[in-house]
Structure 1
Amino acid sequence: MNYAKIYSDPNGVSHFRDVEVSFSPSDFASKTNPVLKSVFLSSDAGFVSVPSGWDSGWHNSPGDGFAILLQGSVEIEVGDGQVRRFSSGEVWRSTDVAGRGHVSRVVSEEDALIYMTIITNPENKT
């Protein structure tokens, strides 16, 4: 995966640079079903690539944070039995850092690509 970075050189002139994101295996969301995760750009934001057909099993969120689905379709089941399907461009926030958690499944034929950010100082609890 690539993204375009806009930066300024020492003379203050802005430029584009294409940045390639590399992924490595991680148990970020599931200890039994690893996903591919980029190095997070800070301690709280990065990309996760999840293969088609992947099922996390019940797990807690790694922290209070947002997920933006860039590619694919993901189905999330919560403890009360409700299931929602998310498609490219949709956003959800996970705050279930304790308790039973939720189940995430990639239901598209293509892998899911997700940008995730963990909120380090959440002011808005909604």
Structure 2
Amino acid sequence: MNHSSTQHKYTQTGHSQDQLAPSLDYWYVWTDQEGVSHQSRRQMQDFQLQSISPPASPQWLGQLKQKGATISFTVMPVGWTGAWHENPKPQWIIPLSGSWFVETMDGQRVEMGVGEISFGADQNTQADAQGRKGHLSGTIGSEPAVLMLVQFEEMPSLE
């Protein structure tokens, strides 16, 4: 996973307001107006230096609030490849172990391992001439891919 930062002075104490404000990269799977799925790199950037629960020392905290979330875990067996499908609802996908891939209708294939976050929002795609709709996903390597899914009833704000 790639973590980048804005330009600020960094101190080792953990208490300066002039530390580097982090950003968090993720893959965004989305549908265009023609119903074709794509993947783009995006960043979460709204991190605030604050205590998560006083009196704990400040840390960089980024929050995306949304009602109606369901958290699920899935284990994809070694060698598993699913059929072409859409994400059933907008969802964050966080690999906990193993590796997996997502291939979108535009032909882009992204391989992700532990901690490489994806946001699946490819609902309402239209089948192409080969019958592909949404995305194809599967495991990579010699161990199962264990994923945590945070699924939403409505599209959350990603900004």
Q: TM-score category by the smaller chain? A: 0.5 to 0.7
- Equivalent position of 2:145 in the other structure: 112
- Which residue identity does 2:92 align to in structure 1? F
TM-score by length of 2: 0.50
Give unpaired runs (5+ residues) of structure 2.
1-67, 126-132
- Which residue identity does 1:108 align to in structure 2? G
Tell me: CA distance 1:125–1:43, structure 2 relative to 1, closer, same or farther (3 Å).
closer
Higher-RCO chain (CA-CA 8 Å, sequence separation at least 6) = 2
Q: Which has the higher strand share?
A: 1
TM-score by length of 1: 0.62
- Which residue identity does 2:87 align to in structure 1? S
Distance 1:122 1:74 in 2: 24
Check if 1:93 corresponds to 2:126: no
C-alpha contact 2:69 2:150 (8 A) present in aligned 1: no
Tell me: CA distance 1:123–1:116, structure 2 relative to 1, closer, same or farther (3 Å).
closer
Distance 1:90 1:125 in 2: 17
- Equivalent position of 1:46 in the other structure: 72
Tell me: CA distance 1:125–1:50, structure 2 relative to 1, closer, same or farther (3 Å).
same
Aligned residues with identical type, % of pairs:
27
Moved over 4 A (4+): none
Distance 2:158 2:69 in 1: 21
* RMSD (Å) for aligned C-alpha atoms: 1.8
- Which residue identity does 1:78 align to in structure 2? T
The superposition leaves residues 36-79 of structure 1 with CA deviations (integer Å, 9 ceiling, x where unpaired) of xxxxxx86111101101100120010100100000111011000
C-alpha contact 2:69 2:152 (8 A) present in aligned 1: no
Give unpaired runs (5+ residues) of structure 1.
1-41
Distance 2:158 2:77 in 1: 31
Instruction: Please say which structure displays the higher CA radius of gyration.
Output: 2
Matches within 5 A, 1:1-126: 44-99=70-125, 100-124=133-157
- Cα deviation for residue 117 of structure 1 reads 0.9
Distance 1:105 1:68 in 2: 14
- Cα deviation for residue 124 of structure 1 reads 1.7
- Which residue identity does 1:111 align to in structure 2? P
In structure 1, the residue corresponding to 2:94 is in which secondary structure? Answer: strand
